[in-house]
């Protein structure tokens, strides 16, 4: 595996590759969810480039950029058997002095995470567009766990005509249902146990849906009820929205997204299920 840091090194290496290239963009501190994206990319492409960059512009002023978990040595050990190339640009490479260009998606980036984390998606779409321009992959791999991120990136790819296929891979879960996330390391033992409530509440709403319930408010009510049974949780939002537009639904007619953001102590967790 070759580990590259400058843009020049990346470009020279990228353009020496024959065949298809898959990009797996990450912020490091890799877990099995990331590894499943890399495996899928390896199955589908001739070469896989993994980027590791903790993108400062997608963190709000009160968010956890400084203490976001990092362990590059461990990350490199984990991906060594799975990939040819890893790109680890510095913040100076991505945002040199005088940087002033941004990519911003509108409506689909506004609700849910967009409403709770102003500026977050502007940072995500800007860095992903820069990664796409630098790597010029044929396919790029993202996890369903960040459902709105996927919707926003798809919109950006359509609107800006990036010739890149966005591949969305299923959420990887712990045996008790907790969605894997780099932020799970912040949870102590009691909070880790409480964190299963996200999966339990999504499962309860899905069960109602599978029993024939199509009233979106009833599904939101069920999720809130299960979350309320766990005293350590503080829900930020609970949503039953249209899968593509992310607008809140009254009645479920097509594909829908159940999603939520919940604080457990100081740790903010998100999760979602797709219905239909
Ligand atoms: O999902 C993430 O880890 C990040 O948002 C991404 C896509 C790597 C952009 O920084």
User: What integer is the mean pLDDT of 142-165?
Assistant: 98
Q: Are strands 21-26 and 139-143 parallel, antiparallel or unpaired?
A: parallel
> Tell me, what's the pLDDT at 64?
83
Q: Are the C-beta atoms of 147 and 257 separated by less than 8 Å?
A: yes
> Tell me, what's the pLDDT at 84?
83
Residues 86 and 195 in one domain: no
Instruction: List, edge to edge, every strand of the sheet that includes 21-26.
Output: 2-4, 85-87, 47-52, 21-26, 139-143, 165-169
Residues 197 and 164 in one domain: no
Residues 130 and 243 in one domain: no
Nearest CA to ligand 1 atom 8: 26
C-alpha distances in Å from residue 41, one per residue of 64, 109, 165, 275:
29, 26, 12, 25
For ligand 1, the distance from its centroid to the CA atom of residue 123, given in whole angstroms, is 9
Nearest CA to ligand 1 atom 5: 124
Please state, in angstroms and rounded to a whole number, the distance separating the CA atoms of residues 105 and 124.
10
Q: Would you say residue 62 has pLDDT above 90?
A: no
Find where tokens 């607008």 sit: 247
Q: Where are the alpha helices (DSSP H) in 211-258?
A: 216-228
pLDDT band at 34 (very low <50, low <70, confident <90, very high): very high
Say how many Å lie between the first and final Cα of the chain, rounded.
40
Token representation of residue 67:
């203490």
Residue 174 lies in a domain: no
Atom of ligand 1 nearest to the CA of 128: 9
Residue 224 lies in a domain: yes
Q: Which residues are catalytic?
A: 34
Residues 226 and 154 in one domain: no
Please state, in angstroms and rounded to a whole number, the distance separating the CA atoms of residues 239 and 147.
12
Residues 164 and 269 in one domain: no
Residues 109 and 42 in one domain: yes
Length of the chain: 276
pLDDT digits (tens, 9 = 90+) for 201-252: 999 999 999 999 999 999 999 999 999 999 999 999 999 999 999 999 999 9
Residues 36 and 108 in one domain: yes
pLDDT digits (tens, 9 = 90+) for 5-18: 999 999 999 999 99
Residues 160 and 33 in one domain: yes
Domain range holding 220?
182-275
From 137, 169, 201, the end of a domain falls on 169
Residue 132 lies in a domain: yes
Nearest CA to ligand 1 atom 2: 26
Residues 227 and 96 in one domain: no
Using a cut of 0.95, tell me whether the model's pTM lies above it: yes
Please state, in angstroms and rounded to a whole number, the distance separating the CA atoms of residues 88 and 230.
40
């Amino acid at each position: 595996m070759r580990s590259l840091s400058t843009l020049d090194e990346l470009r020279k290496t990228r353009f020496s590759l024959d065949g298809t290239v898959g990009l797996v963009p990450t912020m490091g501190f890799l877990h099995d969810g990331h590894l499943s994206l890399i495996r899928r990319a390896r199955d589908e492409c001739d070469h896989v480039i993994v980027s590791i960059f903790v993108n400062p512009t997608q963190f709000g002023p009160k968010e956890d950029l400084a203490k976001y978990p990092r362990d590059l040595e461990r990350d490199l050990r984990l991906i060594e058997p799975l990939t040819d190339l890893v790109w680890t640009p510095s913040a100076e490479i991505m945002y040199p002095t005088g940087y002033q260009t941004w990519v911003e998606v509108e409506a689909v980036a506004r609700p849910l995470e967009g409403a709770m984390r102003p500026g977050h998606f502007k940072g995500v779409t800007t860095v992903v567009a820069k990664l796409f321009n630098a790597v010029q992959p044929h396919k790029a791999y993202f996890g369903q766990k960040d459902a709105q991120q996927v919707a926003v990136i798809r919109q950006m790819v359509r609107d800006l005509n990036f010739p890149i296929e966005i591949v969305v891979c299923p959420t990887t879960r712990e045996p008790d249902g907790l969605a894997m996330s780099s932020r799970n390391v912040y949870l102590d033992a009691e909070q880790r146990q409480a964190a299963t409530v996200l999966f339990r509440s999504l499962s309860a709403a899905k069960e109602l849906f599978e029993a024939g319930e199509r009233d979106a408010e009833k599904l939101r009510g069920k999720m809130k009820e299960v979350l309320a049974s766990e005293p350590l949780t503080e829900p930020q939002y609970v949503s039953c929205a249209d899968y593509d537009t992310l607008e809140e639904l009254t009645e479920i007619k097509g594909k829908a997204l159940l999603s939520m953001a919940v604080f457990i102590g100081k740790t903010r967790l998100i999760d979602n299920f797709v219905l239909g």
